[in-house]
């Protein structure tokens, strides 16, 4: 939530760049007060935390605020006490990774946890690691006037796997701040800031935002005392439909698993684990279609199967492409950038997935996510009324493009043929 609040402030300020073009003058006099922007972000963060804490109030008699550690599979040591339980759920989350190389310069290193506690914005920052969080924060800081260099050897661009969309995203992001595809290393730190290197080049910056992944909070938890084997990354492995660590009385949910580290998945997992931990027999639950959103502008989203995951299954799908460059509503909004790719199963026309770099892509992704959850086919989706002028028209263009590749003659123009012939349709009929 604090990262989204910072993005909101940054995007609001960024919009001033289009004001004179649309007839609003005076935008050159606007300025960012970094301290107030960060205070606003903290206020919102605290407000959201308070509302979660209010929810806990109802059952606070059952809450112990302390670190727990497994003594064995059925008991925990908590604050010097021992708590016995038939079933135990581990939902200890994760924390930002801090590789050893950066420890000597820790004073100049921020993480996505500590960034929002800064009282002022830095003038120059290097963002190391451009996964979703790093990408969002790089763009937000750049839009707030911070000089940003973003460095990552992989440049995942929100996990996009379509080469065409990756190129589009890369070009759009690179137009806003410096992108370097390489591994970064610290050189030295001083009162003036920190020097870093990558790709045989050197940058002097005030701060580094290290966003190079997260570490599961399992160290110190004593899971080995409970007979649980951890993977190389320190995460336990569960059956994703029951959330049980196989062969144990222990369940795990959320970011500690390092799998689907997003909030709605963590909530689902917690509910499944809680349901099963309270019953004799585990129930398997269907998981929702995958949905990943990076809230940079334009938004990047992957719904259902990515292009690469479907490619590995052979040429079973038809891809439809549409650009937002000439899309009416996107032009009106001054956001006509990006494209959508939609993947359909070739035989059935069933929606398999989509990748988007699109204005308001978060909402388009949810539209497609709803269709995926209903296991909709192309002909079902084309029945959805789409008002004019809206960005969803761009999705329809991609669907029609995919339809043309399916060569299914049941799909006439945008909608389905009726089964019955209309009365008097045949000329000359009695
Ligand atoms: C910068 C950033 C941006 C994000 N943006 C999004 C987004 O846009 N959308 C989205 O869906 N998700 C986003 N996420 C991910 C989302 O925040 C997480 O998926 C979610 O908070 C995970 O919840 P959790 O309960 O598993 O872990 P947490 O929220 O980390 O909770 C774990 C809790 O366990 C406690 N704990 C740890 N060890 C112990 C112990 N030994 N004993 C007792 N308690 C312990 C911790 O104190 C903590 O309170 C973002 C995350 C980050 C870092």
Asked if residue 12 lies in contact with residue 31, where contact means CB atoms within 8 angstroms, the answer is no
pLDDT band at 429 (very low <50, low <70, confident <90, very high): very low
Partners of 53 in the beta sheet?
none
| Ligand 1 pocket residue status of 93, Cβ below 6 Å | yes
Q: What is the mean pLDDT of the chain?
A: 94
Which carries the bigger pLDDT value, residue 14 or residue 418?
14
Which carries the bigger pLDDT value, residue 410 or residue 72?
72
- Find the 281 Cα to ligand 1 centroid distance in Å: 28
- Find the 255 Cα to ligand 1 centroid distance in Å: 6
pLDDT band at 430 (very low <50, low <70, confident <90, very high): very low
Of 77, 159, 262, best ligand 1 pocket probe by most atoms within 8 Å of the beta carbon: 262
Q: Is 60 exposed, middle or buried (0-12, 13-18, 19+ CB in 10 A)?
A: exposed
| Ligand 1 pocket residue status of 91, Cβ below 6 Å | yes
pLDDT at 204 exceeding the cut of 90? yes
Q: Which pLDDT value is given to residue 311?
A: 84
Rounded percentage of the chain residues whose pLDDT exceeds 70: 94
pLDDT band at 64 (very low <50, low <70, confident <90, very high): very high
| Cα gap 274→271, rounded to integer Å | 5
pLDDT at 417 exceeding the cut of 70? no
Q: Which pLDDT value is given to residue 421?
A: 64
Q: Which pLDDT value is given to residue 414?
A: 62
Q: Which pLDDT value is given to residue 312?
A: 80
**Could you give the 3-state DSSP secondary structure of residue 426?**
coil
Going by C-alpha positions, the residue among 302, 4, 28, 325 that lies closest to residue 139 is 4
pLDDT at 184 exceeding the cut of 90? yes
pLDDT at 212 exceeding the cut of 50? yes
| Cα gap 227→170, rounded to integer Å | 45
| Cα gap 393→385, rounded to integer Å | 10
Q: Which pLDDT value is given to residue 17?
A: 96
Q: Which residue in this structure is represented by tokens 């060569």?
A: 407
pLDDT at 416 exceeding the cut of 70? no
pLDDT band at 135 (very low <50, low <70, confident <90, very high): very high
| Ligand 1 pocket residue status of 296, Cβ below 6 Å | no
Asked if residue 273 lies in contact with residue 265, where contact means CB atoms within 8 angstroms, the answer is no
* Cβ neighbours around 427 below 10 Å, total: 5
Q: Which pLDDT value is given to residue 418?
A: 64
pLDDT at 268 exceeding the cut of 80? yes
Q: Which pLDDT value is given to residue 182?
A: 96
Joined together, the tokens standing for residue 336 give 């006509």
Name the pTM for this structure: 0.94
Q: Which pLDDT value is given to residue 405?
A: 87
Q: Which pLDDT value is given to residue 411?
A: 62
pLDDT digits (tens, 9 = 90+) for 292-349: 999 999 999 999 999 999 988 767 888 999 999 999 999 999 999 999 999 999 889 9
Q: Which pLDDT value is given to residue 415?
A: 59
pLDDT band at 57 (very low <50, low <70, confident <90, very high): confident
- CB-based contacts of 409: which residues, under 8 Å, 6+ apart? none
Compute the chain's Rg from CA coordinates: 25
Q: Is 208 exposed, middle or buried (0-12, 13-18, 19+ CB in 10 A)?
A: buried
Task: Give the atom of ligand 1 at the shortest distance from the alpha carbon of 68.
Answer: 42
| Cα gap 127→169, rounded to integer Å | 18
pLDDT digits (tens, 9 = 90+) for 216-229: 999 999 999 999 99
Q: What is the residue with the minimal CA distance to atom 15 of ligand 1?
A: 262
| Cα gap 250→101, rounded to integer Å | 35
| Cα gap 328→324, rounded to integer Å | 8
276 phi and psi, to 5 degrees? -75, -35
pLDDT at 22 exceeding the cut of 60? yes
pLDDT digits (tens, 9 = 90+) for 103-118: 999 999 999 999 999 9
């Amino acid at each position: 939530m604090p990262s989204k609040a910072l993005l909101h402030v940054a995007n609001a300020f960024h919009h001033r760049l289009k004001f004179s073009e649309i007839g609003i003058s005076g935008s050159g006099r606007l300025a960012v007060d970094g301290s107030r922007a960060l205070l606003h972000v903290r206020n919102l963060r605290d407000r959201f935390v308070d509302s979660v804490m209010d929810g806990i109030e109802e059952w606070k008699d059952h809450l112990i605020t302390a670190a727990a550690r497994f003594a064995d599979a059925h008991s925990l040591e908590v604050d010097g006490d021992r708590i016995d339980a038939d079933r135990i759920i581990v939902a200890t989350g994760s924390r930002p990774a801090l590789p050893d190389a950066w420890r000597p310069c820790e004073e100049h290193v921020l993480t996505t946890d500590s960034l929002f506690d800064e009282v002022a914005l830095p003038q120059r920052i290097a963002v190391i690691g451009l996964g979703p969080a790093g990408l969002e924060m790089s763009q937000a800081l750049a839009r707030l006037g911070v000089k940003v260099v973003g460095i990552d050897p992989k440049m995942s661009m929100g996990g996009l796997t379509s080469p065409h969309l990756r190129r589009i995203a890369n070009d759009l992001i690179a137009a806003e701040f410096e992108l370097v595809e390489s591994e970064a290393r610290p050189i030295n730190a001083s009162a003036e800031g920190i020097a870093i290197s990558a790709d045989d080049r050197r940058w002097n910056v005030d701060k580094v935002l290290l966003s190079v992944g997260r570490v599961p909070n399992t160290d110190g938890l004593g899971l080995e005392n409970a007979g649980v084997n951890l993977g190389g990354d320190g995460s336990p492995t569960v059956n994703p439909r029951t959330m049980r660590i196989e062969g144990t009385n222990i369940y795990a949910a959320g970011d500690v698993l390092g799998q689907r580290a997003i909030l709605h998945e963590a909530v689902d997992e917690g509910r499944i684990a809680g349901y099963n931990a309270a019953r004799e027999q585990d129930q398997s639950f269907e998981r929702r279609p995958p949905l990943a959103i990076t809230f940079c502008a334009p938004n990047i989203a992957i719904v259902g199967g990515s292009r690469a995951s479907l490619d590995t299954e052979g040429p079973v799908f038809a891809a439809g492409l549409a650009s937002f460059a000439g899309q009416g509503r996107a032009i009106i909004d001054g956001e006509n950038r990006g494209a959508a790719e939609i993947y359909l199963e070739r035989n059935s026309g069933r929606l398999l997935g989509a990748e988007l770099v699109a204005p308001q892509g978060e909402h388009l992704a949810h539209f497609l996510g709803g269709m995926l959850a209903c296991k909709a086919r192309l002909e079902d989706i084309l029945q959805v009324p789409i008002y004019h002028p809206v960005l969803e028209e761009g999705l329809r263009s991609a669907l029609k493009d995919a339809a043309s590749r399916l060569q299914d003659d049941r799909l006439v123009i945008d909608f389905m043929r009726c089964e019955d012939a209309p009365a008097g349709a045949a000329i000359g009929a009695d």
